[in-house]
Structure 1
Amino acid sequence: MFTLLAGRDRGTARDACSPRLMTAVPDTVQDHRGIQLTVRRAWPANNGRLTIEALEEATGHLRAGHLEADGTVALTPFGEDSALPGLPTAVDAGELLVHRFTKRAVVKTDGAYLKLLPPRKVARVIAAHAMASELTAAAGITTPRVTDVDEGTLTLSTVPGVSLHDLGRSGGGDPGDDLVTLERAWSLWAEHWSAFAAAPPGEGRLPFYRPEDEAETLTTWMTHCLDFGTLPVPAPALRSAVDDAANHLLDTSLQAPVLSHRDLHDKQVLLSTGSTGEGGLGLIDCDTLALAEPALDLANLLVHLAFREAQGLLSAEGRAVGETAIRGVAEELSVPEDRLDAYSGSTKLRLACVYAFRPRWRMLTRDWFHDALL
């Protein structure tokens, strides 16, 4: 049986020797000059602190920094990060989209994206992009290419198309036409994804992401929520649900692994239509490619659609279109229903824990958690 004692022990040890954040992630913070910012996302860090990403309400500038355990806010100036030396130059050239303090940043420019990383991580990411391009090409999938490198700044080619997420959002057009477009997009995804997953690379080229790894990832996020008090549900209920989900992952036979994205959701998949009507599929954020059971990616995508509906970002009809395509691919890849259920259960709880660190969605995660138990 998979137990959570290790996770509880780690949490108890941290509580005994380090401070705990006084409250859950706040909706807004102020910097030392009194500038008001809306907290967009947060991640657990060490010593009871959070790494935060926040928007200046007056300028829309994205800034990053830490929220200390005592509630003190420490934010860097816009476009600055000592661990990302190329960031000031990059923000002068485009729009800052992502800034996870000391970890990474993404800037959109005309015709390219700039990914800013600590210099020590550059070689690994370049290798990951090269392998992704090679492995996905056989399935007719386009991924970003590294076109230039300058210390910790990688220039990435754009991937044409519109994401499944954006296609699924209501755009004010005719609902019938929107659904037809969405059905075509999901059909194209299904056609390519079966080819992608059915031809895994040779052993030794990619890590094997096992059910034990997924259970450990879920347990880690549960521990974060317990340590920071972010998920508004009783701690015993969270521990019990995670324990059940982890055991479900481990109590049935594994399906043979296939090539997997490992973080597949509707924002990662882009669809485009050529001048002659043919369609193309693009895939981004491929740094985590691995071998895994096909249920891992399919469940992650399936559950994200349900969460988008709960967020009010996708209609029930749009969700149904995507689910039909995903389940069709699951059938084509002979995914057992119990494996899809196991990974879906884990993904539901993991999303609740991750989004509990995003103030806009924190209260939604309470209802989502209880729905996950049904």
Structure 2
Amino acid sequence: MTGGLRPARLFVGASATGPGPAPVPEPAPVPEPAGGPGPAPGPEPAPAPEPPRARHAARRSAAPRPPKSLVADGRRYDVVRAWPRGRNHALLELTSGGATVAGQWFADGDALAEAARGAPAPASVVGDVLLQPAGADARLRALPGVLAEAGALLVAHRPGRRAVVALPGPGAAPRAFAKVVRPSRSHDLAGRGRLVAELIDGVTVPRLLEGSDLEAGVLLWSVVPGRTLHDLGADGDWTPSRAHHAWRAAGAAVTRLHDAPQDRVAARHGAEDELSAIAHWLDPAVAHGLLDPELVARAGDRVTAALLADRGGDDLGVLHRDLHDKQLLLADPVEAGDAGAGEGADDGAGEGADGGVVGADADGDAGGGGVGAYAVDGAAIAGAGPVGMIDVDTLAVGERALDIANAVVHLELRQAQGLLRPDLAHAARAGLLAGAAPTDTERVADYADATRLRLAGVYAYRPRWRAVATDLLRRVAQPTP
């Protein structure tokens, strides 16, 4: 995180009531939200804390930031979302005429010029942005070849990091998904995919297919059947009973993942690492004037104190680390079950998990989702079809409460976005908690605030949802009794 804040003081500003939390060791690499790319650069040492007046001055004269839109050759490009790589660089997803285009923003003109010199055609510079349509990427050299197949569809592209391409099948559905990464990362990702299949007994996982070229950075993965819980909830056809049953099945599938043998997973993700993931988003968001520094400082103090006050350790499991409704699929329609189940199941776990409030979350995508490389198939719950789970790229051992909280808060987000009715969000949360059965609901509440704060940073970089980001931040900084 270029120019970022050390974990010892993760957020802009500091509490005036005391010395603050104890220093935290340097974290492991940070995953990116929604189905996301690989680890981000680690943080650098922080400058000395600024006095309050300096912080207010910084807010008035924010550093240059990624644009909301730009025009090139008479076409308008709107920024859908951005992934900051520190304060002076961001990866972009733009849309123009219904087409998705990747790009990079640079605050420094020399850095932009250097990136442009190495970018293959048809990349072009527009203002302070390098547009990279049609898979133009100097570091993902195999991507244009994958896209050359007739009918291939570029699903996602984060320049220099990864791309996902849907490969056409005999019918409307794709036959496979190609994930294109830097060749140096392909063997590790292939190994993680095989590990997931071995870890979760009785669960079906997409397999690495013949035709993969690891030396070129191209991994072909079988298709995960089903629709995401996000899409099923947004369609408007669900009843609360169906939502409850679907999410209860999802919760049971999550438990299967959490119960997998921990000794096979080398990565660890603790409270300190989660705080660093939050700082990865908040530091540039404050520097770019997207979030109020005083609210960030207040919310950061609360979350830091809560996560570090209880180190957990007793309720560990194998985590997804980016679990949300776009990462979970249902292969078969959920049949209506007992209409009373959705209401009754919320009386205990639902209230304890997040204070009984269904309000405003944000997508992480700690990030991404919808289409990915991995899936879990199982969770036999009456009235629910097989559950799939994708994008388990950030598998690690950590507190189970983190995954559960991330999913709960994403249900809040969908309601705030107008994508999920309040009654469905309530029933879905109750079902998730019934299926996952967390043993420490207070710890889930701690991680729920941490998720809201991280996603405030994520959604600050999505122009359409900046008001949602502010609401998330205020909810953590100014909690209601």
Do both proteins adopt the same fold according to a TM-score greater than 0.5, normalized to the shorter chain? Answer: yes
Q: Does 1:83 align with 2:148?
A: no
Contact 2:262 2:318 in 1 (8 A): no
1:133 to partner: Cα distance: 1.7
Q: Does 1:98 align with 2:103?
A: no
Instruction: Give the match for residue 259 of structure 1.
Output: 318
Q: 1: distance between equivalents of 2:286 and 2:87?
A: 15
Q: Which of 414, 428, 446 does residue 342 from structure 1 map onto?
A: 446
Q: Residues 328-339 of structure 1: matches in 2 within 5 Å? A: 328-330=434-436, 332-334=437-439, 336-339=440-443
Q: Deviations over 1:66-88 (max 9, x none)?
A: 22226612112322112111211
Q: 1: distance between equivalents of 2:191 and 2:414?
A: 32
Unmatched segments (≥5 aa) in structure 2: 1-6, 14-43, 51-60, 109-126, 168-173, 336-382
Q: Which of 463, 466, 475 does residue 359 from structure 1 map onto?
A: 463
Q: Which of 255, 258, 283 does residue 194 from structure 1 map onto?
A: 255
Shift in CA distance, 88/291, structure 1 to aligned 2, threshold 3 Å: same
Look up the equivalent residue of 2:443 and give its one-letter code. Answer: R
Residue range with higher mean Cα deviation, 349-358 or 207-216: 207-216
Q: 2: distance between equivalents of 1:50 and 1:99?
A: 13
1:24 to partner: Cα distance: 4.3
Q: Does 1:62 align with 2:97?
A: no
Q: Residues 171-210 of structure 1: matches in 2 within 5 Å? A: 171=236, 173=237, 178-197=239-258, 199-203=259-263, 205-210=265-270
Q: Residues 121-270 of structure 1: matches in 2 within 5 Å? A: 121-136=185-200, 138=201, 140-147=202-209, 148-150=211-213, 151-171=216-236, 173=237, 178-197=239-258, 199-203=259-263, 205-231=265-291, 234-254=292-312, 255-270=314-329
Q: Which of 77, 89, 93 does residue 37 from structure 1 map onto?
A: 77
Q: 2: distance between equivalents of 1:369 and 1:52?
A: 23
1:98 to partner: Cα distance: 0.8
Q: Residues 108-123 of structure 1: matches in 2 within 5 Å? A: 108-109=166-167, 110-123=174-187
TM-score normalised to structure 1 length? 0.86
Q: Deviations over 1:288-316 (max 9, x none)?
A: 11111110100000001001110111110
Contact 2:241 2:427 in 1 (8 A): no
Contact 2:102 2:132 in 1 (8 A): yes
1:236 to partner: Cα distance: 1.8
Structure number with higher relative contact order (C-alpha < 8 Å, ≥ 6 residues apart): 2
Look up the equivalent residue of 1:29 and give its one-letter code. Answer: L
Q: 2: distance between equivalents of 1:142 and 1:5?
A: 39
Contact 2:162 2:180 in 1 (8 A): yes
Unmatched segments (≥5 aa) in structure 1: none
1:22 to partner: Cα distance: 5.0
Identity %: 33
1:37 to partner: Cα distance: 0.8
Contact 2:299 2:473 in 1 (8 A): no
Q: Which of 374, 393, 415 does residue 309 from structure 1 map onto?
A: 415
Q: 2: distance between equivalents of 1:133 and 1:355?
A: 33
Shift in CA distance, 12/278, structure 1 to aligned 2, threshold 3 Å: closer
1:219 to partner: Cα distance: 2.1
Q: 1: distance between equivalents of 2:463 and 2:300?
A: 22
Q: 2: distance between equivalents of 1:337 and 1:241?
A: 20
Contact 1:62 1:78 in 2 (8 A): no
CA RMSD, 1 decimal: 2.7
Contact 1:36 1:56 in 2 (8 A): yes
Name the SS for the 1:230 alignment partner.
coil
